[in-house]
Structure 1
């Protein structure tokens, strides 16, 4: 045809090579990528041109400009292509007739929609690619461009895996919100996010959409998932507002990936993170973390690997956690106008501009307001007058996030809802007593009808009224329906959730009559109480508690006097204690104690039960001074009011013993622990779980006093009884196994300890999850067992380098700091072990840094004279010795020895260990006689308290031989040394590192290890 440009151009070799310009709406980018890849494989040169349709430029002019593109123009036909602008079908028909019809050979098209398009689009002769497989779609594409006979041409693109066929879903697709067919604009953000992720190195593909409430961060992430989902094998959406919810929903990916795990979500979570990191079975994955407003809660759980992560958050601190921040602003005015006109076709462009200005271009508010304005007779001018005048005189800014007009706009919308479907307002108000975000409406619908107030009984039990209310809210974008098994009419079944934006949540909750508030909150409280799994110590039921906990605050459960609701609070506190959610539990406990003292009185029975759960959480983070005061108040009151053998009093007394242990008052704790155990045995017998708990606490007191043989026997009895009474994999039974293995190790029975601990670690990882505090304790003890056992004598059933002492200690410390915090008692134990290991394996800088931090933290957290401070100083002295600071080291170890002797007595293993180290420093500074006196006394005391063959005793004997040799008493030195070496061979074996070091006459030392209190 005359005037048409030939769709060919010369290549470097002189042969003709066809060029095709693909013209597409951003919404259809995946189709453009797939079409381009298919054409390039046939030797076609492809140019991608995204469709821009500024409303101020006539459509005819835009199409004329399109003719300037190279080669043949292939249009991806969809409703999105024709809606940009937005443009009417009439405008399109006129432009197509004027520009395309005279020159049809320049244009071709493929259709990827079944929606109605302008009738004049027929001039493009689009070939349909919907409802078919990739092979047929490719055949039709090539046929439309007369490339059916073109052979495959070897290109660089064929060496890589091409884009997935857009009509095929990823192999795994989970929880992604429905695609918003009214989505508008944001193309620069999409382009930047896409290019950032595509260019990122493995492990660094993380982008955060950051901005204030209501700007559409979630919608942007959802559109990204739909638009680019075909490029991934896995697309998984996670609600990341709370750590517990995030962990649970990420763990649900395990069966979708085909991972063989147990049912416990801790094990599933570990398997998922490992699979994503390795890219096996899928390397092309996209994970969306929605509503992650608290980076410090979940940053450590963000997967790394070859895939990509998108985060939505109001918090810019994600920029500090290996994420590229992309700020999501309010709409640009042209985006606002285009969106409003698509949402409300009856509004003119000037009307849309005025409305956007009045609502400050906030997408959420534009969506809701335009939706009902389209159905209303109210003009934009009248609506804006309402906004400016106010529905009432109390128009205030709800928060810094909200536009000034938001409350008034919501008052108008609520009036509209109230007039049309009153039940929708009841449902909306009911939802605000749950946390914003995902509302588990199934909890409401599972309640018995006779427990519901009349106003709500019809709504919750009449499916037609329920669906009518839900659909009304959805029509005006007040809620979003989240369902993965939606029926054709998208009704809400019992298992589905509604999503309520936090802005909507706050304003609706504020604007509610007191009568509704009282009635509705009781319904939600009852629903939450009814959902209580009732067994907070069972890890299998923790997902149920993880779902409930975020809603406690919004249901204001602490204001309820209902016993079932208060029992739910107790169970949630207990769940938080056992699952390691200490910080959240302490916050809930603080609020509960304040509220219930005012509500129930200072001495109500439930106050003492609350103090028990609250002090458990405080004790877990080492706040012993605070817990001791609370526990003593409870003990004194309950003993006076109920007598010493009351079960509540006994429980409080057991807690007080724990506080005394934490404060370093071990003899007092032992005395109290013995009395509590005897009382429980008298009241409940030997086989009650409370008796066994008291028996476990007695063992802890004995261990802290260095009475390891007694501890071992008590712990063995407890372990066996718990296995029989509960079950072998019950958390308490597994905890007893850890304690038993620790006792074996402290007695020098390293091989036995390692064997038991190795099995126990596997089971804790399965039952409790990899990052649970109990699992960390188990892994720590395994690492120390293997360190003490030595490589030469240790056999393993695997060769995983991560399970070696060094890497395992490092991993435990890293996770302890991340999960528990740097000052948590367990973290300080882990840091102490890592410091000692680093000192012996050449990383003296790390050893010193960790050791100084431990000393400083103990000095702040514990009272002067606490044995942990003395022990930490003893470890620090060894490091100072190794770096050549002899005098400083000598002074510090003498101070530690004096303080430890004062704290726990001369015969305690910790004191004997300090003495062993002090003798070495005395020898080093030339005080040989005092060194020999000390080692002689230390060896004698160690034989008396620990036995001749305990590793610490053997070390003291070897040290004494060295000091005798320094005094030139060679005959006695030889005698002492040979006897000790013979016992080393018999006890640890001739290849054990301690034995080898003793034979090489390397001066032995002792490492202080804080114990669980």
Structure 2
């Protein structure tokens, strides 16, 4: 079920003139994501033949085997479907981008569109997608905001087939999931230094150094172009390529130097590499090799074009891609001089230039940022480059008086360079003006949903505040809080929690125990404990924070309501529904009063309360609340907004649990289709909804549709979530149930035994999901006639459910019903009948008289009376049960047919005045329904 994940818990704070801040939210939407005039244009806009933003093709000799393998990866069958994603990984400088670019140019006619994407971070991926929108609909894009541009590009890719997206220099494979998981009409290709972290469904190609012959041929081609080298030159080239380790980037840059200095032989160049210029090179083998090459190249450039060397050292501190010429042109500098310097760097293969922007290889930047002893010539040039890079960014963002302030697009363009400066800040290096830029850029990333990306920005800002304002100044504490929030957003609780704890202690000391900032820190720390699964520390801290906020802020202040909501969520996470429900009810009532009936916080509270009613088995209150919330989400968020789909899925699951399959199945089918379109085929929300639909098919007796759908869902969960993830275990449990319902016990039993063992290890012995799986395993043992294992497992499960869930929870009633059925099968009617009578009475009270589970209990009690020879009680009960089954399930449902068969048999027995019930009585044992997937 969807829950308010500690909403507003990670409040990003700011202080001081010009500061900005925002609450942490799951999804931020400002204005219309797509204006009305653009809602239906993506499917109608066609890309011109050959549309791409590919950089110019570069020389790529050899690699034919790798190119062929890449072609197979992106066009072959993989697990029954066309492969949609592939990745090329290897060391920096090994030629990954060159290979991908060569592949794209070679197969350009095979794709309707090829788009080169900077994959270094989520926000840079989005920036590349906005450029796609600007290319296809330039007029509309010029007036749309960034969120709308990204949404338009995503919709265009969802509608149009046969494109290729190339994500270059991917740092985190997970950053691609929103795109590879949602866009299936084309192909995705990534290049990365990362060798691990790729999904099993993504075939990978590991790229190594060049073959010796290919390395020698490439070096000669770079130096001699189309001319043929002599035998001696080829031998010298081979020796040099060995010296360079057959490393592609080194070969390329050595070749560029020799091409510019034709009077220098291969051997002479080797001697220069071995001279005193190379003796101070440090780092990895690749870095040492490249440092030696660059020392030679930079000395040549220093004499020919000193500005080119300054330019290169400046670019070394910025983001490696899309460094505009204007950014590198200081005030008073002739742009033609910059163009000439860029040309010199391009000739020596030190940069790649598009005419308006240049890119520098990441390995080049790594070496240039380190101190280099260049024979006593300006040994601090790397720091001078750093200073020029900082001034270039500040000049772009702080215009002279009378000039326009930077636009949002300009901020977006400069943000990667700002992050690069923050991430590479030398120790004890401070720039007060740049610290302000870091703070603003960090908050902008937070507002765009990229809080984790802001970590280096907050770290740099914090260092500046600690130096200038001191360790305990309120502004310093605000930044420290924000940095902890960024760590948490990045999933780094190991750094987030100690920083939250330190910030809280300092705020208590400096600002007092009840200051609003102190309370926010306490709330944030409690949320981090909760995220780490430490409810023993989270709940008392939430309780204390709520009490203090009620005292300081008042009972209906939005921050107090947030604390109340967060405490309710923690209670629910701990399984304490008795305290969670009243707190959710109070929070919803107050949010309706204070924030309004349709405020996003109110809608979230309504969904949360419905979810906790559902968890408590109170469908009579859960379903109307879901229906109300869904109508409001559809009106406010739109029909296909993720929050709308989430609550629609939850409502459909509640219908299914209530036995209302005529409403559950169509709603789930529609929701699955929408999830596939909006979220993608393998997104966890899609899988959850598909799992729920399969269960609805199962409940309707349609196993021919349920089992294949569950099998496919389990396979996808294993691939996406992993073998032991709770969602995978739940789906595997449900598949085992379906096998059981189909009578395939040879597949059901081993699957459930393995699932129970994994649940106990992952969830613990008394977790509700573990108990569900235990109950189901006991039921399958019963179906197999193994009562020696079924009865003790049912007894143990019932005892734990009574303790954990309470005596009247639907899951407890299911266990009680199933244990009674096992007693009946063992002939122990003295224990079975009272247990069945009590279960029926409780189900009539909790579930209602016509709920399918109540009908099952009624049928089972009638069968027990029959087995005891008490036909006077059995027949009326069978008659009532059949009439209700016909009305609720329909005349041809398997359970209706079983009930009809039972009634006919017992009537014959009564006519013949048999003293015992006919052998083989069908107790109508239900497949326990409580293994419902809990939607995220």
For the criterion TM > 0.5, the same-fold answer is: yes
Deviation at residue 996 of structure 1 after TM alignment? 2.6
- Asked if residue 184 in structure 1 is aligned to residue 44 in structure 2, the reply is no
Instruction: Return the match for 2:363 from 503, 506, 527.
Output: 503
| Contact 1:252–1:268 (8 Å) recurs in 2 | no
- Which of 558, 561, 572 is matched with 1:650 structurally? 561
Aligned 8 A contact 1:330 1:361 in 2: yes
Map Cα deviations across residues 588-627 of structure 1 (whole Å, 9 max, x no partner): 6765666787799864978987998998899789786786
The answer for the alignment partner of 1:1007 in structure 2 is 929
2:118 equivalent to 1:214: no
**Cα offset for 1:771?**
3.4
* CA–CA separation in structure 2 for the residues paired with 1:724 and 1:933: 50
Flag the 1:658–1:473 CA change in 2: closer, same or farther, 3 A: farther
1:710-759 Cα deviation digits (max 9, x unpaired)? 11222222222333344343332332222222222222221122233333
Distance of aligned partners of 1:695 and 1:297 in 2 relative to their CA distance in 1, 3 Å threshold: closer
User: Paired residue for 1:763?
Assistant: 674
1:722 aligns with 2:624: no
Shift in Å at residue 922 of structure 1? 1.6
CA–CA distance in structure 1, aligned partners of residues 797 and 199 of structure 2? 44
> For residues 554 and 840 of structure 1, what CA distance do their matches in structure 2 show?
61
- The question of whether the paired residues in 1 share the 8 Å contact of 2:317 and 2:385 is answered with no
**How far apart are residue 978 of structure 1 and its match?**
1.1
SS at match of 2:355: coil
1:10 — aligned with what?
none
More contact order relative to length (CA 8 Å, sep ≥ 6): 2
- One of 443, 460, 466 as aligned partner of 1:567: 443
- Give how far 1:472 is off: 4.2
User: Which blocks of at least 5 consecutive residues in structure 2 are unaligned?
Assistant: 1-46, 137-149, 372-380, 398-404, 454-485, 903-921
Task: Provide the secondary structure at the position in 2 that maps to 1:940.
Answer: helix
- In the alignment, the residues of structure 1 paired with residue 821 and residue 181 of structure 2 have an alpha-carbon distance, to the nearest angstrom, of 47
> Which of residues 589, 610, 615 in structure 2 aligns to 1:678?
589
Instruction: Check the 8 A contact 2:115/2:132 in 1, yes or no.
Output: no
1:780 deviates by 2.9
1:491 correspondence with 2:344 = no
Pick one of 322, 328, 347 that aligns with 1:475: 347
The unaligned stretches of length 5 or more in structure 1 are 1-168, 277-284, 446-451, 482-489, 535-543, 793-800
Instruction: Please say if 1:695 is aligned against 2:581.
Output: no
- Distance in 2, matches of 1:753 and 1:770, equals 21
User: Residue 759 of structure 1: SS of its match in structure 2?
Assistant: helix
Deviation at 1:912?
0.8
- The correspondence of residues 799-948 of structure 1 with structure 2, limited to 5 A, is 804-844=705-745, 846-862=747-763, 864-948=765-849
User: Contact 1:426 / 1:456 at 8 angstroms: preserved in 2?
Assistant: no
CA drift at 1:499: 4.8
1:342 aligns with 2:222: yes
**Residues 602-659 of structure 1: CA deviation (Å, up to 9, x unaligned):** 6497898799899889978978678658756765775676555443343243233223
Which among 559, 568, 572 is matched to residue 661 of structure 1?
Answer: 572
User: C-alpha separation between the residues in 2 aligned to 1:363 and 1:883?
Assistant: 64
C-alpha distance in structure 1 between counterparts of 2:246 and 2:347, whole Å: 20
Q: Say if 1:585 and 1:617, in contact at 8 Å, map to a contact too.
A: no
Conservation of the 8 A alpha-carbon contact between 1:621 and 1:824: no
- Say whether the 8 Å CA contact 1:214–1:362 is kept in structure 2: yes
How far is the alpha carbon of 1:267 from its aligned partner? 6.4
After alignment, is 187-196 or 991-1000 more displaced?
A: 187-196
Correspondence for 2:245: 360
Is the CA contact 1:545–1:575 (under 8 Å) kept in the aligned structure 2? no
Shift of 1:896: 0.9
Whole-angstrom CA distance in 2 between matches of 1:600 and 1:426:
45
Indicate the SS of the match to 1:405: helix
Q: What is the aligned counterpart of 1:587 among 491, 496, 501?
A: 491
Aligned CA distance change for structure 1 residues 999 and 426 (closer, same or farther; 3 Å): farther
Q: Does 1:328 align with 2:208?
A: yes
Distance in 2 separating the partners of 1:632 and 1:950: 38
- Contact 2:216–2:234 at 8 Å: present in 1 too? no
SS in 2 for 1:214: coil
Change (3 A) 1:492 1:927: farther
Answering whether residue 406 of structure 2 is matched by residue 406 of structure 1, we say no
Structure 2 contact 501–525 (Cα < 8 Å) conserved: no
**Change beyond 3 A, Cα 1:588–1:207:** closer
Distance in 1 separating the partners of 2:202 and 2:636: 48
* CA deviations over 1:763-819 (Å, ceiling 9, x no partner): 333333343333333333333333323459xxxxxxxx9xx4333333333333333
Query: What's 1:99 paired with?
Result: none
Inter-partner Cα distance in structure 1 for 2:504 and 2:334: 38
Q: 1:956 to 1:724 in 2, by over 3 A?
A: same
Q: Is 1:789 the counterpart of 2:669 in the alignment?
A: no
Aligned pair count? 781
With normalisation by structure 1, the TM-score equals 0.64
Matching residue of 1:733: 644
* Distance 1:183-1:780 versus aligned 2 partners, 3 A rule: closer
Distance of 2:607 and 2:420 partners within structure 1: 35
1:395 matches 2:317: no
Q: Is the 8 A contact 1:838 1:844 kept in 2?
A: yes
Q: Is the 8 A contact 2:592 2:602 kept in 1?
A: yes
* Alpha-carbon spacing, 1:172–1:621, altered in 2? closer, same or farther (3 Å): farther
In the alignment, the residues of structure 2 paired with residue 741 and residue 985 of structure 1 have an alpha-carbon distance, to the nearest angstrom, of 23
Partner of 2:912: none
Query: Secondary structure at 2:566's aligned position in 1?
Result: helix
Aligned to 1:709: 620
In the other structure, the counterpart of 1:369 is: 254
CA distance in 1, matches of 2:70, 2:99: 11
| Counterpart Cα distance in 2 of 1:553 and 1:628 | 39
Aligned with 2:352: secondary structure?
A: strand
Write out aligned runs for 1:92-171 (5 A): none
Report the Cα offset of residue 973 of structure 1. 1.0
Going from structure 1 to structure 2, the CA distance change for 1:964 and 1:556 (only over 3 Å counts) comes to farther
Where does residue 102 of structure 2 map in the other structure?
A: 223
Secondary structure at the counterpart of residue 404 of structure 1:
helix
Q: TM-score, normalised by structure 2?
A: 0.69
Q: Provide the rounded CA distance (Å) in 2 between the counterparts of 1:808 and 1:860.
A: 27
Q: CA separation in 1, counterparts of 2:447 and 2:349? A: 36
> Structure 1 344/815 Cα, relative in aligned 2: closer, same or farther at 3 Å?
same
> In structure 2, which of residues 650, 660, 663 is the aligned counterpart of residue 752 of structure 1?
663
Task: Report 1:510-659 matches (<5 A).
Answer: 510=370, 513=382, 517=386, 520=389, 555-556=422-423, 562-571=438-447, 585-587=489-491, 603=507, 635=546, 642=553, 645-659=556-570
The equivalent residue for 1:977 is: 878
- Out of 936, 939, 950, which is 2:851 matched to? 950
1:246 Cα offset (Å):
8.3
Alpha-carbon contact 2:181-2:681 (below 8 Å) kept: no
Classify the secondary structure of the residue corresponding to 1:587. Answer: coil
Q: CA deviation at 1:937?
A: 0.4
